[in-house]
Each structure stands twice: as structure tokens, then as C-alpha cells.
Amino acid sequence: MSTFEIDKFALYVEASDEQVRSYAADPEAYVARWEQRGLASRVPVADGGTLTMEERQALATGDYAELYRLGAHPYVLWHFVEAVFVWAGDVSWPEMTERYRTAITPHGRPDFST
Amino acid sequence: MAELVAILGVPHNPLLWRPMRDPMPEDLQRTSANFAAFRQALSEARPDVLVVVASDHARAFSHVNSPAFCIGKAPHFVCTYENEIRTFGLDGWEVPGDTELAGWLLGGLELAGGFDFAMSNEWLLDHAFAIPLVYLTDLDVPVVPIHANAAIPPLPPARRFADLGTYLAEAIKAAPFDKRVALVTSGHLATEVGGPKQFLGGDSPDQEFDDHAVAWMRDGDLEAAVAGCTLERLLAAGNVTAQYLNFITALAAAGGRPASFAEGTPSRYAAGPFFRWDISA
């Protein structure tokens, strides 16, 4: 599976305040709705898609280190994380940058082409 | 005949927007002064239109549809996105477009000049365009935005960015109308967002790359810049460093001449690129 689906998901969520709040409030339910919309349509939709088990698990738990390892676009992923955990969450920006750096650094530089 | 009257390269770091204002923090004084000097130089060049070469950040052109190069042909443009207003505190800005020059650069029924541009008649500009425009102008000079993909692999190689600059210089010179055109490019030196080297507090993610990158512009060494900007080398310097490639477009448009001003300006962020080629009227 292409990492495109992760990037599509993260870009869609991060693009609007409403979606960030919705995802941050209940990531698991948000991911379920995303997949339902993706499965319900035979044509591509902007607000849904299909995910692998790994992708689903990582998105439903906000596991950004795993998303990074799977090849999420780093720029897209960081802004997704910043929106969810700092803007809509309770983590300070300096704390989040350190947490993020510590979590992703062991994974080096995964290929983020799709 | 149109005339290329100024060529500039500036940072578009959106994190500057909140802190770079009076009382000016000491570490941002040089960046602010450089923007002011470039704004003055651009004003003195009296451009009728700005061609802005920059790289959209997966906002207008995402993984769903990612052109290598795209020209905006709209009568006006709006900046920026809801998430950029939230994240960076940017405002919503509007700038006029220039459909005549955009159409000339694109071609009419047939693409012009053998350069396979994509075209957009409706395009919300992101900070890569908004930051240069808001710091360098009063948002009253018409704009032709050109997206050069430096974000979503596969990226055009450095040689294509040089070809773009050569094409723009020649096409502007050959235009069948009289306009004074300024080329504004935006990008980065070594910079990382979302990778292990992001937000290092003012230290460059790759000082060796930065030193070369400034020298290529200062010395007018286009071939060394192209050779030195393999995608592998750019990624090693930081995962958004590829936006430096827009300055290769500027250097090529200047005919490979040494920049009149070339500096990597230090601040709390990764060094900011400032390159300017003065063209006497």
C-alpha cells in the first residue's frame, strides 16, 4: 500500500480547524468514518479512503512515530501532529517538538515518496 | 517588449510572521533589514508585474495532483489557507494577477517554448508566495505565480529549475507587450520540517551546504549549483532544502551572473536566504 493514504488523511484533517477538533476528540471513531466513506464510494472522495491495518492502527492511536516509519511526508506529518497535539491538545509546542524528535529519530529517513 | 528589471531570492519562513515586528527581537533584526532593503530595491525597479517562483507546500497541489511546474493565470489571487492562519498566524491577503503575462508564458492553444507547464485559473496561494509578497510589496503589484514542485516526490531535477530560469528570461524579453517584470523567488537554505533535525534553535541543519549554497549565488556558479543540488544531497541537508532549487531558477534567469547581494542570514531559525541581482534600467 502506498503511503499516499496516510498523507491524504493527514492533509485533510490538518486543513481545517473543524476536522482537527473532530479527529483529536476521538481518533478511532474518526478513522472508522474515514474508511466507511472510502468504502462507500466507487470513485475517489476527498474525505475518505482505504487503509492498511498498520496505517489504521497508527492513525487511530495517533502514533506519529509509526506514521513516520511508514513513510508519511515529514512536512505533512509534523503539521498534523502540531495541530492535533498542540493546537487541539494540551501539549506545549516546545514539549511537542522534543517528543516528536525523540520518537522519530530512531527511524532515520524513511522514503516518503508515494 | 517586456523587460526583466529585478531578480530577487528571499526566505518564506512563515514562522517569521509572528515575532518579526516591533519591538524587533535582536536575532531577527538582520532578517528584517534585509527584507526592507530588498523591498526598496524592488520598488526602485518599478515593476509592472511580479513573476513569483515558489513551491506550494502540499496545499494547492497535493499528492492527489502534483504538477512539476504550474503557472497561475487568474485575474486575482487570495492567500492563504485556514491551517496556515491557525498555525502561523498569517492573515488573508489578496493580490491582483496578470493574465496577459501568464498567458504569454504559457502559450495560447499550444504550450509555449517547449516547457510543459501545468496551468491554474483558480489557485489559493500558500505562504511560499504570501510571505515574499507581504514583506516586499504593498500587495498592489500584479502577480504571476509559478509553482515549482520541491515538496512532493518525484521532484524535477536541478537542471530543470535552471531551464525554467532561462526560459522565463527569454520569454519575458520576447513578449509582444511593454512591461517591467521582476522575478521573485522564494525558498530555503538547509531546512528541516518534520525530520530529526528540525528546530535546532538557530543552528543550520547543514552548515557545509549553506556555505556552498550562498557561494554559488555570490560567485554566479550555475553549473556548480546544479551539480551540487542532487536530490540526495538536498535531502541530507534537510527534508525541505529542495526549495533552494528556486534560487537556481533566479541565477539562471540572471544569465548565471554573480548576485549583487548573497547572504544566509542567521536568526533563531535555520539561516534565511537573501539573493539579489541588480539590473540597471
In order of their start, the domains of chain B are: 3-16+27-278 (3.40.830.10)
Residue A112 lies in a domain: no
Q: Is there a domain that residue A22 lies in?
A: yes
Beta-strand runs (E) in chain B: 3-11, 49-54, 69-72, 76-79, 93-96, 118-120, 124-125, 143-148, 180-187, 261-265, 272-278
Spatial separation of the C-alpha atoms in residues B85 and A15, rounded to whole Å = 10
Q: Which pLDDT value is given to residue B200?
A: 80
What is the pLDDT, as a whole number, of residue B211? 98
Helices (H), B21-178: 29-44, 82-88, 99-106, 127-136, 158-173
Which residue reads 543550520 in cell numbers? B204
Query: Which whole number is the average pLDDT over B166-183?
Result: 97
**pLDDT in the model for residue B102:** 98
Q: Is residue A113 part of a domain?
A: no
CA distance A34 to B187: 34
- Per-residue pLDDT at A38 exceeds 60: yes
* pLDDT tens for each residue of B37-56: 999 999 999 999 999 999 99
Question: Cα–Cα distance between B166 and B129 in angstroms, integer?
Answer: 21
Q: Which residues of A touch B86 (CB under 8 A)?
A: 17, 83, 87
Element (H, E) at A70: helix A64-70
Tens-place pLDDT, residues B249-262? 999 999 999 999 99
Q: What is the pLDDT of residue B242?
A: 98
* Mean local confidence (pLDDT), B6-12: 98
Q: What is the residue whose three cell numbers read 534553535? A: B201
- A11 and B154 within 8 Å at the Cβ level: the answer is no
If pLDDT is split at 50, 70 and 90, which confidence band does B199 have? confident
Cα R_g (chain A), whole angstroms = 13
Check pLDDT > 60 for residue B281: no
Q: How confident is the model at residue A25 (pLDDT cuts 50, 70, 90)?
A: very high
Q: Indicate whether A26 belongs to any domain.
A: yes
Identify the domain containing residue A77 by its residue range. 4-107
Q: Which residue of A has its CA nearest to B81?
A: A15
Domain count, chain A: 1
Give per-residue pLDDT as tens, A46-95: 999 999 999 999 999 999 999 999 999 999 999 999 999 999 999 999 99
Nearest C-alpha in A relative to B80: A15
The chain B residue lying nearest A88, using CA atoms, is B86
Task: Kindly determine whether residue B64 and residue A97, on different chains, have CB atoms separated by under 8 Å.
Answer: no
Tell me the pLDDT band of B1, cut-offs 50, 70 and 90: confident
Kindly state whether residue A15 falls inside one of the protein's structural domains: yes
With a cut of 80, say whether residue B201 has pLDDT above it: no
Residue A114 lies in a domain: no
In this model, does residue B2 exceed pLDDT 60? yes
Share of chain B above pLDDT 70, in %: 99
Residues 22-61 of A with CB under 8 A from B: 44
Identity of the residue numbered A67: L
Whole-number pLDDT of residue A1: 46
Tell me B218's DSSP state.
Answer: H
User: Quick check: A4 and B153 CB within 8 A?
Assistant: no
pLDDT band at A2 (very low <50, low <70, confident <90, very high): low
B108 to chain A, any CB pair closer than 8 A? The answer is no
List pLDDT tens digits, range B94-142.
999 999 999 999 998 888 877 899 999 999 999 999 999 999 999 999 9
Q: Mean pLDDT over all residues of chain B?
A: 96
A31 within domain boundaries: yes
